[in-house]
């Protein structure tokens, strides 16, 4: 199924694995190793940025140290003008982004994030889902052809968690406390639930259709739940054509933001293979990818993607896009660099 998994939170403790099968325990240990490496990578990146910030501050002070008062005044003035120009460009980009999102509300591909599963998740999982939704909004905002995003069933614990995100009230996104089946009750025939358990494979995106993504961080506890929901509601279902292009190393479960970014990339390129290789992290892909009856070289495809300026990990792409927005910090901010999550939150504010 295409419900969200938790790529951002620690995996269950090893002691909880006592009653699970050997293969499940192996998968758990692998996830723990991946999570540990991710935490180490983020810590290293945070330290790198802190050192870089300190280096730039030191270089600036050294640059001013041997200058006359007149030269220092000129340099400071020039620096302020540069900062002002940069802030002007950011303001202009925010304005353009807002205009793109408003246009998408009229002509964009409708994508619904179904948030009716709060009662099935722990507080940590709900927090993780809120972060994934934040990534979705950030990624959608920077697209040339953004989707018309909807949050339905947006109440209860997940609603409260989203409200804690700075700038959330200013998001240009549809927020509905009602379930999607009520919101689109007059367009039920247009609803398509995206789930890996579906028999139908999605070949194209239809702007007249409304695609639903299950917002559930469950680590496979609730396998098949979205398919069951679609069947009970009598709406269509479909799965992404991942198997036509990629042989995943594990299950075909993706995070919410990965599914959204795949759809966004397909809208942009009309190429599923491009979308999958751009968004799905390499750790989730097998050694050999499959395309029809032929095999294709993973390294070759990744090289092609990189030549087009594409990133392999969509979530990290969003993080890095907004991580270094502020080239110069105030003295108060210089004491400690911002974390990746804070930078992304700032980028989503209008």
Question: Angle 168-178-130 (CA atoms, 0-180°, nearest 5)?
Answer: 35
Alpha-carbon gap, residue 238 to 203, rounded angstroms: 9
Helix (H) or strand (E) holding 317: helix 314-323
DSSP 338: P
Question: In angstroms, what CA-CA distances link 193 with 63, 73, 117, 121, 140?
Answer: 59, 61, 15, 20, 20
Active site members: 218
Half-sphere exposure at residue 344, Cβ-oriented, CA atoms within 13 angstroms: 22
For tokens 């397909």, what's the residue? 266
* Whole-angstrom distance, CA of residue 108 vs CA of residue 93: 19
Strands 289-291 and 294-296: antiparallel
Of 242, 278, 313, 257, the C-alpha closest to 140 is 257
> Which regions of the chain does DSSP assign to beta strands (E)?
110-114, 148-152, 174-175, 191-194, 210-214, 236-238, 289-291, 294-296
Q: What is the b/e burial string over 64-99, where b = at least 16 CB atoms within 10 angstroms of the residue's CB?
A: eeeeeeeeeeeeeeeeeeeeeeeeeeeeeeeeebee
């Amino acid at each position: 199924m295409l419900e969200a998994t938790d790529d951002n939170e620690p995996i269950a403790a090893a002691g909880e694995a006592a009653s699970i099968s050997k293969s499940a325990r192996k998968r758990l240990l692998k996830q723990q190793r991946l999570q540990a490496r991710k935490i180490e990578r983020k810590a290293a990146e945070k330290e790198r940025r802190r050192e870089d910030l300190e280096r730039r501050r030191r270089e600036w002070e050294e640059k001013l140290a041997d200058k006359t008062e007149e030269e220092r005044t000129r340099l400071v003035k020039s620096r302020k003008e540069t900062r002002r120009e940069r802030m002007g460009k950011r303001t202009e980009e925010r304005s353009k982004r807002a205009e793109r999102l408003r246009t998408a509300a009229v002509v964009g591909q409708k994508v619904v994030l179904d948030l009716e599963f709060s009662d099935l998740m722990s507080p940590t999982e709900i927090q993780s889902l809120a972060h994934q939704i934040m990534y979705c909004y950030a990624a959608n905002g920077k697209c040339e052809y953004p989707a018309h995003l909807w949050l339905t069933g947006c109440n209860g614990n997940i609603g409260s968690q989203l409200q804690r995100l700075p700038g959330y009230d200013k998001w240009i996104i549809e927020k509905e406390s009602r379930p999607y089946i009520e919101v689109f009750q007059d367009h039920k025939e247009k609803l398509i639930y995206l789930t890996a358990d579906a028999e139908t494979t999605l070949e194209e995106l239809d702007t007249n259709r409304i695609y639903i993504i299950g917002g559930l961080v469950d680590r496979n506890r609730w396998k098949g739940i979205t398919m069951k929901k679609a069947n009970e509601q009598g709406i269509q279902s479909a799965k992404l054509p991942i198997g036509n292009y990629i042989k995943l190393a594990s299950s075909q479960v993706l995070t919410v933001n990965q599914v959204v970014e795949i759809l966004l990339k397909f809208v942009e390129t009309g190429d599923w293979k491009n979308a999958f290789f751009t968004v799905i992290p390499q750790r989730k892909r097998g050694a050999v990818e499959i395309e029809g009856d032929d095999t294709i070289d993973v390294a070759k495809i990744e090289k092609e993607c990189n030549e087009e300026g594409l990133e392999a990990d969509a979530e990290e792409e969003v993080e890095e896009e907004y991580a270094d927005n502020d080239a110069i910090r105030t003295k108060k901010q210089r004491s400690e660099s911002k974390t990746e999550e804070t930078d992304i939150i700032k980028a989503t504010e209008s």
